[in-house]
Amino acid sequence: MKIIAIANQKGGVGKTTTAAALGSMQAAAGRRVLLVDLDPQASLTQSLGIDQTGHNLADVLGGVEAGKMQLAEVIQPITDRLAITPGDIDLSGSELGLSQRMGREGVLKKALAKLSDYDLVIIDCPPSLGLLTINGLAAADGVIVPTLPAASDLRGVKLFLETITKIKDNDLNPALDLIGVLIVQFDRRLVSHNQALDVLKAGGLPIMATIPRGVRVQESAAANLAITDYDPKGKPSAAYREFNRKVTKWLKEQK
């Protein structure tokens, strides 16, 4: 089982859209995929139309005390090969409580280690550098960093990459691999967007794809579908398929 975290401390950079699209495409390719909604805002859970009245990830992670449920007990199916561990606002309380626990950075990793029914886990991390995101990064084999093509967002990417280095250097996850950077809401007609792309390339960062702007990306969440299912012939979906091919290549290299 391989684990990929989709993370950036900034919100609005397409983490949830990317997690949903990647999960759907990987499941369609035959992998057994689990989505983990680690964000208290539960955007991934809501965007896929998942029932939030039952148990969720907070019941597994716990807070000051260990959670009373196993991860397998809160998983909800989406399709035959795609499932989700729902997020909930209760995760905010979990994050506060975790700060007082021994081994707090590895709670999610331990929970995931008990699973055996999945080939791939995709973690949608919250837009912060708190303990929940640290748990996601500590559990992952690789991380994908989505970003907008703007100067302020590029500074955020730099700070986030420094966080990844700290995760590795402090032995929380020495083998964590930066799979690449994904640029979303990209408009080739804008000079500033092309300049941002050039900056990332000049920094030697692996650019996985540029996802073009598209109103159907927002519509897909309202329809409770991944963009690649909602508008499979659209330009954003085509770009996500190119992105998915690179993720698949990375997965094969890990075996």
Domain ranges of the chain: 2-253
Torsion-angle region of 205 (φ positive above 0: left; ψ -120 to 50: alpha; else: beta)? beta
pLDDT tens-place string over residues 217-247: 888 988 989 999 999 999 999 999 999 999 9
pLDDT tens-place string over residues 133-157: 999 999 999 999 999 998 888 888 8
- pLDDT of 30 reads 96
Cα–Cα dist 18/251, whole Å = 17
- pLDDT of 56 reads 94
**Do 79 and 112 touch, CB atoms closer than 8 A?**
no
pLDDT-derived band at 89 (thresholds 50, 70, 90) equals very high
pLDDT-derived band at 199 (thresholds 50, 70, 90) equals confident
CATH fold for the domain made of 2-253: Rossmann fold (3.40.50)
